[in-house]
Amino acid sequence: MNNYFGIGLDAKISLDFNNKRDEHPEKCRSRTKNMMWYGVLGTKELLHRTYKNLEQRVLLECDGRPIPLPRLQGIAVLNIPSYAGGTNFWGGTKEDDTFTAPSFDDKILEVVAVFGSMQMAVSRVINLQQHRIAQCRTVKITILGDEGVPVQVDGEAWVQDPGYIKILHKNRTQTLTRDRAFESTLKSWEDKQKCECPRTPPPQTQAPPPQPEMVSDEEASLIREFGQTAGALIHSIRDAARSHQGLEQELAHAVNASSKSMDLVYCGVLTRVLVLQMVFNVQVLLRETQLLLGGRRVLQLDPPQQDQINVALNSVSQQLHRLDQVSWLSPVLDPSDHQGSLTDLSKRSRVKFRLVPKFKKEKNNKNRETSATLSLPVHQWGTEEVGLWLEKLCLTEYQEIFSRHDVRGSELVHLERRDLKDLGVTKVGHMKRILQGIRDLNRNSSASET
């Protein structure tokens, strides 16, 4: 940690906030809204008191000495006087008869008790001192029982399994601080310099910057029709990607680059440079989509989706042939004779064009082996097959814990949300991905039996 560590109530509120932010990112874009959500979650814990007997579930040692704990809901270990968005949770910055003055560079940690969410809210207004526990160089917290307890490090929270947590000083680093008095003096000096040194008017003989070559009305009509067909292709790919993760992974770069260049073309002044960039990106998308659907990768789409994408591909190809009438588009339509022009275009373009990388032979072999292994019935899977299935979902961080809990195929298909929480899957996105994968397994298993 750098600033503070918490276990119990404050970590539970932080964990709930992180989950809420993952579910509704649009509602957590301002500091005011975030503070409001913290207030709502704190009020909820004020009623529920989830960790009202935390002293029975943890043991605290400071510098090797056991510390008897009062009735509390959380423990916070502070390395700086500021806590949870600016609160001086230690209560004061001066030395007294019992404790020294807190400092961020004395290698000493401050340990405080969290009695409730009301205490955390009041600490923002007045300095409370009755919840001070100790000042020490090492802290050891042991989590008892069979259930995990929420912990947080500098605001990042998770559920920690039973065990012990040891906090000790590692090293120091040099940091920068903000000197507001110096900033005010510097700003006053800059304002004074502006008043004493008026700007000199620019010379009248200076030539205006060259304007980019514009597009004629006839060319704009062709480009507009081409953009409509490209938009239909992007729309059909995005529809199919909702149910086929492989399609999204393979074409994400090309789709995003095409969409961005189309936005630049249709939301501003129509210039040749922007049109060249858009046509180039759509060509890349067309080529990558054709390769993907032509059998280079195993990808099975539903017949309506396959037909929709094929129709869109044919329309884009026809519109590309029509663009042959525009002479200045030849560098991208026929790049073999215009390598120099393409190089200049790539230098001027701000979008980095990157084709989807082709899979190497070793990776293809690995994919074939994985597909062959996962083709077994789910109820015959062992922990190794479950690990490969998690790897296919890009969730390799859970392979070890699933294996440690001996989750096999017969148990996997019956996992529910509360089971995933017990396994340590706390992120909403990961939980939904695993549950959707389990539903797909059950659906495929039922179809195979039929």
pTM: 0.39
Q: Comparing 22-26, 133-137, 216-220, which segment has the lowest mean pLDDT?
A: 22-26
Domains in the chain (CATH in brackets) are 4-168 (2.60.200), 217-348 (no CATH), 361-449 (1.10.150.50)
What is the three-state SS of the chain? CCCEEEEEHHHHHHHHHHHHHHHCHHHCCCHHHHHHHHHHHHHHHHHHCCCCCHHHCEEEEECCEEECCCCCCEEEEECCCCECCCECCCCCCCCCCCCCCCCCCCCCEEEEEECCHHHHHHCCCCCCCCCEEEEECEEEEEECCCCCEEEEECCEEEEECCEEEEEECCCCCCCCCCCHHHHHHHHHHHHHHHHHCCCCCCCCCCCCCCCCCECCHHHHHHHHHHHHHHHHHHHHHHHHHCCCHHHHHHHHHHHHHHHHHHHHHHCCCCEHHHHHHHHHHHHHHHHHHHHHHHHHCCCCCCHHHHHHHHHHHHHHHHHHHHHHHCHHHHHHHCHHHCHHHHHHHHHHCCCCCCCCCCCCHHHHHHHHHHHHHHCCCHHHCCHHHHHHHHHHCCCHHHHHHHHHCCCCHHHHCCCCHHHHHHCCCCCHHHHHHHHHHHHHHHHHHHHHHC
Strands 163-168, 109-114: parallel, antiparallel or unpaired by DSSP? unpaired
The CA-based angle 296-299-304, given to 5 degrees, is 125
Least confident of 54-58, 119-123, 374-378: 119-123
Higher pLDDT, 402 or 364: 402
- Beta strands at 74-78 and 4-8: parallel, antiparallel or unpaired: antiparallel
pLDDT tens per residue, range 84-122: 666 777 877 778 778 888 887 788 999 998 887 666 666
Q: Residue range 200-222: average pLDDT?
A: 61
Give per-residue pLDDT as tens, 384-408.
888 888 888 888 888 888 888 889 8
- The answer to whether the Cα torsion of 189, 195, 200, 202 is positive or negative is positive
Q: Report the percent of the chain where pLDDT is more than 90.
A: 12
